[in-house]
Each structure stands twice: as C-alpha cells, then as structure tokens.
Amino acid sequence: MTDAAEYLDKHQGERPWLSVARDRPPEVQRVFAALDQGGGHAHIRHEGWVTEEMNERRVRNLHDPAQLDPAKRAAGIDGLAPGDKPHRCGSIVTRITSSDAFAVALAKGAEHQDVRAALGTEFRERRVPAPVVLPIAGILGRDGHRFCSGWQLEPVDGSMRTARNLRDAWASARAGPEPKTHRVETFDGGTATFIFGPNRARDGYEIVTMYVNPPEGPAGQQGRDAR
Amino acid sequence: MNEAYWARKPRPPFATLIAVAATYCHPEAYDGAYQDLIDRARSAEPGDEEIRVFRHELREALADPSRLPNDELFKAVDYGDGTDQAFLRRLWRDLYGDEP
C-alpha cells in the first residue's frame, strides 16, 4: 500500500471527497492525497464526489458541498473557512465528473509553463500570481469536455449580473423568490482556470482551486450581459 | 496558451485592474484574499508597481466605466454587486476610503 492509499484510508471517513479516489490508480490517489494535505479545495468542490444535485444547490442556494453538517449546509455556512462564514459562490458552478480526469487535468495543468511560473514565483506576503486560464482540450484532450458538468443561474431580465446580485440577496434573507438555474449546455471549446494562493507555510504558492468554464457564446455561458 | 484576458499580447486595456480583481475578489479566491488586497493597497510598498498601476486603472474605470472592455470585469471576478460601477465603487471605498 502506498503512502497516498494509506492517507485516503485513514481520512476518508471524515473527508468523504477522498472516497472516490480510494479504488483508483496510484497516480490518481497521489493527486488527491497531495491536494488534501494542502490548502486547496479543487477536489472538494469541483470533482466527481459532488453530485449534480449538490452542485445545483450550491449555485442556487449557496449550499457548500464541503459543509458536512446538514443544518449548516442548509444555512449557507462555508464548510472550509473558519468561523462559520457565509459560503461564497459565483454565478456558475462546475466540476470534472471523473476522479481520473480530474487528476489528469490537475497534473497536466500543473506542468504548463504559466502555471509552473506562477507556482515558482518568489513568495511575498499579500502578493499572489494572477489566475491562469487554459483550454480544456489542452489538458484533457479533444474529448475532455465530456467529463465536465455545471449549473448556472438563470439570467434575470437578460442579465447574469442581476441574477447574481439577487441570488446573494436571497441567500442573505433566505426569503423571497428562489433563484432559478439551468444546466450548462456544453464545455466543448471551454477552459480551465487555475487559481493560486499562499501555501500553509506561507513560503510559496499553491493551486487553491481549478475549475472548468464553458466556452464563450450562445452554447456556453448564456446570459452574460453588456454593462 | 494562457487565455486569461490579462495574458493577451499586446496587453489589453485595464489588464492590471482586471487581473488584480480576479486574483483577490473572485469567490473562488483563497480565504483572506480580499483582506490581503486591502492591506496591500493601504500600505503599498514604494516598489509595488502592480498596485500603483491597479490604483491608476481603478480611478480611470470609475471616472468612465464605459471604457472597460465589454463584460471582461464580470467574467473575471463574478462579483455580486450588480454592475461594474457598483463593484468598482465598493473596491475603491474598501481600499482607499474617502481618498480622491
């Protein structure tokens, strides 16, 4: 048994997002074990252990998949941030539905020169490299988009900005008309965003999260609006 | 190829403003990112060229939000303020207070 397998065995009880990697190849297990020991959340909120329903409830009601207490999840409390903070979420939520594809995307992305450059940046307090956005096809192959899934808010009066604003207002009050959502039509031609932050030792940078995005245009992020 | 707006060549308008906002203000940013930006902006080191350009571009965007490239700010930040202008105003207020 590898160190990664031992880590997954030991922690999957209290960290259920690790269970999807338990029976996968050692390379996949290593990615999950490494991510879980860092400060990132890509494997917790943007991967296959999150069901379609959990993902949809995240963007509609700010139910955080990382929050394991049902009452706190229903109240929109973040599952990872200390101090019972409200969960944050944009107008769209996405995930890679296969643990193997997720591990490949993460590993291939981490090899990209711009991601390597970001991770190799000399650490300075409060300074962080900007996100890197890579084509899904470049990290998962031509059919990689088939492993991607997501939900987004239904635009209000043709505006995603308004929908996002009203969703947050609903989440604060937990009252009034509930936000509406729809499934992302396709990720063909889409991208993956790598976001960075300080590592736990605060002596370097790590990938805080990686998530996929649909392509621009009618088949992708519908409802994007002009100012 | 990095397809981020701010990575385009030649460098597009408001690239620093949008890159910094995406880095620190996006909902997926690391915990404490927004506070880090506030602290960095309020006590900017003399050699912090990025934050100097960011402040200049933020001021320019507030003066005339129509100069911002269409939808790029919202795409990069996914803010909940409703409009570019409301987001930029909040950002200026949180970072620089009442400074002109």
Q: Which tens digit of pLDDT belongs to each residue from A22-47? A: 999 999 999 999 999 998 999 999 99
The position carrying tokens 């209000």 is: A156
For the whole model, what pTM was predicted?
Answer: 0.95
The pLDDT, as a whole number, for residue A227 is: 41
Instruction: Give the chain A residue whose CA is nearest to the CA of B16.
Output: A130
Residues of A within 8 A of B68 (CB-CB) are 227
ipTM: 0.96
Nearest residue to A200 via CA among A16, A34, A3: A34
How do the domains of chain A map onto residue ranges?
Answer: 87-213
Residue B100: pLDDT band (50, 70, 90) is low
Task: Provide the shortest C-alpha distance from residue B64 to chain A (in Å).
Answer: 12
Measured between its terminal Cα atoms, the distance across chain B in Å is 39
Q: Tell me if chain B has a CB within 8 Å of the CB of A49.
A: no
Neighbours of B57 (CB within 10 A): 21
**Do B80 and A168 count as a contact with CB atoms less than 8 A apart?**
yes
Q: Is B40 on the interface with A (CB under 8 A)?
A: yes
Kindly report, residue by residue over B7-65, the tens digit of the pLDDT.
999 999 999 999 999 999 999 999 999 999 999 999 989 999 999 999 999 999 999 99
Find the DSSP H helices in chain A.
3-11, 26-37, 42-45, 52-61, 70-74, 99-111, 113-119, 136-140, 160-173
Which parts of A2-112 fold into alpha helices (H)?
A: 3-11, 26-37, 42-45, 52-61, 70-74, 99-111
Burial A36-58 (b: 16+ CB within 10 A, else e): beebbbbbbbbbbbbeeebbbbb
Q: Which of A81, A114, A161 is closest, CB to CB, to B74?
A: A161
Candidate from B3, B39, B68 with C-beta closest to A126: B39
Q: Which residues of A touch B31 (CB under 8 A)?
A: 80-82
For position A223, what pLDDT does the model report? 46
Pick from B2, B28, B74: which is nearest to A134 by CB? B2
Among all residues of chain B, which has the CA nearest to that of A137?
Answer: B1
Q: Residue A208 is inside which H or E element, if any?
A: strand A205-213
A202: contact with B, CB 8 A cutoff: no
Q: What is the pLDDT of residue A1?
A: 59
What residues in B contact A157, CB-CB < 8 Å?
A: none
Nearest to B27 among A80, A90, A227 (CB): A90
List per-residue pLDDT tens for chain A, 227 residues long.
Answer: 579 999 999 999 999 999 999 999 999 999 999 999 998 999 999 998 999 999 999 999 999 999 999 999 999 999 999 999 999 999 999 999 999 999 999 999 999 999 999 999 999 999 999 999 999 999 999 999 999 999 999 999 999 999 999 999 999 999 989 999 999 999 999 999 999 999 999 999 999 999 999 998 755 554 456 44
Say yes or no: B37 contacts chain A, CB-CB below 8 A.
Answer: yes
pLDDT at A138: 97
> Based on the number of CB atoms within 10 Å of its own CB, is A218 exposed (0-12), middle (13-18) or buried (19 or more)?
exposed
